[in-house]
């Protein structure tokens, strides 16, 4: 362990000004890219689809339960305090309910057996791998 510590001190002492500038520039670039590429905006609306048609679009600034009648029964979508979720669904596995609250633009929850989906929408549509 002592040898590693000694070698590390020698390596740091041998760095020149250009090396330190490359390290500092890299850290700044990483911070900038993290801020611009990996942060997403808050959603303002939720869009509910039934099959391939838009069923309704609601603002997220309300307390509301939306009852949507799908092919196998009625699903309940809850909207509260800037977020939305499936709170009840007639499907067997309840994957859509277990997805929980959605808060960021671009997030989606889908109930495939009932053909109902919801997507949160913001001012700008975030990057999606389907656009690739």
Do 51 and 107 share a domain, yes or no? yes
Count H helices and E strands in the chain, helices first.
3, 7
In this predicted model, what pLDDT tens digit does every residue of 61-95 receive, in sequence order? Answer: 999 999 999 999 999 999 999 899 999 999 988 99
Higher per-residue confidence, 5 vs 16: 16
- Kindly state whether residue 63 falls inside one of the protein's structural domains: yes
Which domain does 112 fall in, by range?
Answer: 45-123
Do 6 and 63 share a domain, yes or no? no
- Total structural domains in the chain? 2
For residue 26, what is the DSSP state? H
């Amino acid at each position: 362990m002592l040898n590693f510590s000694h070698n590390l001190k020698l390596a740091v002492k041998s760095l020149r000004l250009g090396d330190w500038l490359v390290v500092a520039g890299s850290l700044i670039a990483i911070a900038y890219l993290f801020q611009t590429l990996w942060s997403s905006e808050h959603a303002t609306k939720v869009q509910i689809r039934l099959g391939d048609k838009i069923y309704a679009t609601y603002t997220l600034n309300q307390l509301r339960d939306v009852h949507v009648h799908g092919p196998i029964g009625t699903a309940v979508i809850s909207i509260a305090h800037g977020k939305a979720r499936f709170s009840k669904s007639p499907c067997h596995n309840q994957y859509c309910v277990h997805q929980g609250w959605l808060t960021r633009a671009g997030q989606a929850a889908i109930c495939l057996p009932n053909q109902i989906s919801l997507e949160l929408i913001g001012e700008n549509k975030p990057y999606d791998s389907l656009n690739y």
